[in-house]
C-alpha cells in the first residue's frame, strides 16, 4: 500500500518560523516533523511513500533522500513555489501512487492513530478518520452516521487529515489548484465516503503556539 504525506503548505500561520524553511521541517525534540511521519508510516508497515512539497521543498528532499535509511522508498511530487492545495496536490501525485487505494496524511498532524486499522480496500471512494473538534475549529467538518460520512448532522467532527482514497475519487478532475473537500462533498452526498471516529491523541500543529504545546509535552 502506498501513502502520501502532504507537505506543500506554505506555513503562513507558522511565520516567522517558516520564513526560510518549510513547515514540515520544523523540529520537535531535534527531529523534523516530516521525519516523524515517515517513521510513523514505516512502523505501520507502509514503505512506499510519496511526499509533495513546494517552497523550500529541496530541504525536505535533502534531509530524507530516497528514504532508505528509514527503511522506506520515498518519491517526491514537486509543486514549485505555488502549491496546488490538497486536492490538486494529490491529483498531481497520482502517477506515483499506484493503482490500489492509498493513504494520505497531513505532515502537520500529531497522532497515535493506529494506521494498521485503516481499510486496505474500502467499499467507498474515500475513508476518513474524524476526531473531536479542537478549540480553534469548534464547528467541525463532517458528521458520521454509523460508518458513513455526512456533510450535515447534529454532531459534527473534525477531519483528522488521515484518509484512504481510491483513484475513482479523482476521476472527474483535470488538475490544477483545488481543495480536497471539493471532491469529498459530492462523494459524501453520493454515499461514497466511509469514516470512523477516533478519540485518541491528535493535534493539528498549525501555529507556533500549538507546536510549543507539543514541544512542552515532550519535555515531561
* Residue 190: CATH number of its domain: 3.90.550.10
Cβ atoms within 10 A of the Cβ of 27, count? 13
Mean pLDDT for 214-219 is 80
pLDDT class of 219 with cuts at 50, 70, 90: low
Q: What does the pLDDT read at residue 17? A: 80
- C-alpha 98/C-alpha 120 separation (Å) is 13
Q: What is the mean pLDDT of the chain?
A: 94
pLDDT at 53: 96
pLDDT exceeds 90 at position 175: no
Query: Cβ–Cβ contacts within 10 Å for residue 135, how many?
Result: 5
At residue 65, the pLDDT reads 97
User: For the chain, how many structural domains are there in total?
Assistant: 1
Q: Cell for 196? A: 470512523
Q: What is the pLDDT of residue 83?
A: 82
pLDDT digits (tens, 9 = 90+) for 54-93: 989 999 999 999 999 999 999 999 997 778 999 999 999 9
The range of the structural domain enclosing residue 108 comes to 2-219
The 10s digit of each residue's pLDDT in 92-130 is: 999 999 999 999 999 999 999 999 999 999 999 999 999
Question: What does each C-alpha distance from 116 to 24, 43, 119 come to in angstroms?
Answer: 23, 9, 8
User: Predicted confidence band at 220 (pLDDT cuts at 50, 70, 90)?
Assistant: low
Please enumerate, as own/partner, the contacts of 134-143 that have beta carbons within 8 Å and a separation of 24 or more: 134/158, 134/203, 134/204, 136/204, 136/206, 137/204, 141/181, 142/188, 142/195
Whether the CB-CB separation of 165 and 101 falls below 8 Å is answered with yes
Amino acid at each position: 500500500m502506498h501513502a502520501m504525506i502532504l507537505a506543500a503548505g506554505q506555513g503562513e500561520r507558522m511565520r516567522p518560523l517558516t520564513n526560510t524553511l518549510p513547515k514540515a521541517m520544523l523540529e520537535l525534540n531535534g527531529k523534523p516533523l516530516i521525519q516523524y511521519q515517515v517513521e510513523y508510516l514505516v512502523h505501520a508497515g507502509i514503505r512506499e511513500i510519496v511526499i509533495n512539497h513546494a517552497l523550500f521543498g529541496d530541504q525536505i528532499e535533502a534531509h530524507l533522500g530516497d528514504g532508505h535509511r528509514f527503511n522506506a522508498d520515498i518519491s517526491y511530487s514537486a509543486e514549485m513555489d505555488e502549491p496546488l492545495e490538497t486536492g490538486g496536490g494529490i491529483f498531481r501525485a497520482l502517477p506515483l501512487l499506484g493503482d490500489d487505494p492509498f493513504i494520505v496524511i497531513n505532515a502537520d498532524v500529531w497522532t497515535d492513530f493506529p494506521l494498521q486499522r485503516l481499510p486496505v480496500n474500502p467499499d467507498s471512494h474515500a475513508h476518513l478518520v474524524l476526531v473531536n473538534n479542537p478549540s480553534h475549529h469548534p464547528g467541525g467538518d463532517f458528521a458520521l452516521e454509523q460508518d458513513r460520512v455526512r456533510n450535515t448532522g447534529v454532531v459534527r467532527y473534525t477531519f483528522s487529515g488521515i484518509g484512504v482514497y481510491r483513484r475513482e475519487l479523482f476521476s472527474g478532475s483535470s488538475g490544477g489548484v483545488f481543495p480536497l473537500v471539493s471532491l469529498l462533498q459530492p462523494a459524501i452526498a453520493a454515499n461514497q465516503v466511509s469514516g470512523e471516529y477516533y478519540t485518541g491523541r491528535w493535534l493539528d500543529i498549525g501555529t507556533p503556539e500549538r507546536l510549543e504545546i507539543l514541544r512542552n509535552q515532550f519535555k515531561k
